[in-house]
């Protein structure tokens, strides 16, 4: 890959990585501690991630267990989970909070797959926008210092990178959809 195109490939990789991290927060019926990544807990006036104030474990396939470092945080963590869009009510015994994930209904699974496909489409649009920006930059180069043949070659390289990342996005969408639909 030409050094003039490296920045665009890096941006495409970031779009793909962002999609994968978003997929990690979608719950697919079994307990995944990454669904808690976006939850912030008020820790002495500072919003902190759950992993910074508690030990998060998965003792069973459908349960996440959260053990705060300080017992005083149990109520704060419980409140943060209830205010989030997880849709799960936490239970606690004073020391440990447990989140039990119910079996997903067929309708909910289909909604999640639609959401996954929508996020995948957004990632592909972002990748194509990066390609467009790259092509615009190449056209400006063509007016000054580079031959038309070299511009065509660079555009082809950029298109190949775009195709590669779009294919990766499609594969990630298919894998996540299968995971969600597997009962």
SS3 state at 66: strand
What is the pLDDT, as a whole number, of residue 138?
84
- Domains in the chain, CATH or no CATH each: 6-24+105-181 (1.10.132.20), 33-100 (3.30.1360.40)
Q: What percent of the chain has pLDDT over 90?
A: 22
DSSP secondary structure string for all residues of 116-178? HHHHHHHHHHHHHHHHHHHHHHHHHHHTTTS-HHHHHHHHHHHHHHHHHHHHHHHHHHHHHHH
What is the pLDDT, as a whole number, of residue 132?
93
In this prediction, residues 39-48 reach a mean pLDDT of 83
């Amino acid at each position: 890959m030409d050094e003039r195109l490296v920045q665009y490939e890096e941006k495409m990789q970031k779009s793909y990585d962002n999609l994968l991290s978003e997929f990690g927060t979608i719950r697919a019926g079994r307990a995944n501690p990454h669904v808690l990544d976006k939850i912030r807990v008020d820790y002495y006036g500072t919003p902190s991630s759950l992993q910074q104030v508690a030990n998060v474990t998965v003792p069973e396939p459908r349960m996440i267990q959260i053990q705060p470092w300080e017992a005083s945080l149990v109520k704060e963590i419980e409140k943060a989970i209830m205010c989030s869009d997880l849709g799960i009510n936490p239970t606690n015994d004073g020391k440990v909070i447990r989140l039990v994930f119910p079996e997903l209904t067929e309708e909910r699974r289909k909604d999640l797959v639609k959401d996954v496909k929508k996020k995948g489409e957004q990632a592909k649009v972002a990748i194509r926008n990066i390609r467009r920006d790259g092509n615009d930059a190449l056209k400006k180069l063509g007016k000054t210092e580079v031959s038309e043949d070299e511009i065509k070659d660079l555009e082809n390289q950029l298109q190949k990178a775009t195709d590669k990342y779009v294919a990766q996005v499609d594969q990630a969408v298919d894998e996540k959809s299968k995971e969600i639909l597997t009962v």
